[in-house]
Homo-oligomer: A and B are copies of this chain.
Amino acid sequence: MKAQAQEKLTMKEMKPDTRTSLSDGIVEQLVDLISRDVLKPGDRLPSERELCKRLGVGRSSLREALRSLAVMGIIDGRVGDGTFVSNSNKRYLEKTLQWGLLLDRKKVQDLIETRLMLESQTAFLAAQRVTAKNIEAIEETLRGMEASIGQPEKYLEFDLQFHLTIARATQNSILYSLLSMIRGYLQEWIKGSLAEPSTTQTETRAELSLLEHQKILDALQKGEADQAQQAMTEHILSSSIDLQR
């Protein structure tokens, strides 16, 4: 039928089809509210059903809008509790970066290589920017490793935290995010090949590993960037030997 097509269409100023999808419109409204600080981080949004009535849209559309914001890391839903504005919004990059990497077929060799690149320079940066608090946190993880020697599962976890804490010390969130993902993938792979017999004695390997970590920590404490990078490089190469196959 197209009712308005029957009127004389004067052709003057026909809107260039500015129709945006409904849920996108909602996203825009909410982003606007948040960017104008009407909704501050930590705030709780009205319930979905409430928002539906207020915005005059169905719950599907509303939920798709919320989903968008959640993917961007702007809001965060907790079942049974409510939906909240994320404390640190702008997580969008990390989120999509994460999914993006998921798109890749993960080859262990490539992962190790990339990890070496990133983490050696991460150590360099960290040595320059590390705070007393960071050092403390790193020491904590190292103590955890010492305490859990002989328990590979636990040890690996502290190992992971050791490296991530250093990454955090660079104050570069992108870097942290990337390393976290790469190491995460490797972690899974490592666990999978834990049972396999190692060429070197596990005990000896752990002792060596501890020494290497200690060396990295030393360099960080002294703020010796080059030294930290060197120690990290050696550590990663050394610890990757068992994985190279």
Contact = CB atoms under 8 A, between A and B. Distances in A.
Interface in A138-180: 172-175, 177-178
Given A31-B99, A177-B104, A181-B100, A110 B72 contact: no
A2 interface: no
Interface string A19-36: 000010001100110111
A90 B74 contact: no
A222 interface: no
Interface of A: 23, 27-28, 31-32, 34-36, 60, 63-64, 67-68, 71-74, 90, 92-93, 95-107, 110-111, 113-114, 117-118, 121-122, 125, 172-175, 177-178, 181-182, 185
B63 A172 contact: no
Given A64-B67, A72-B71, A174 B102 contact: no
A99 B74 CA distance: 10
Contact of A113 (B32, B114, B117, B175): B175
A122 B60 CA distance: 42
Contact of A101 (B23, B93, B111, B178): B178
The 7 closest A-B pairs by CB, nearest first: A110-B174, A117-B121, A110-B172, A104-B177, A71-B71, A35-B103, A114-B174
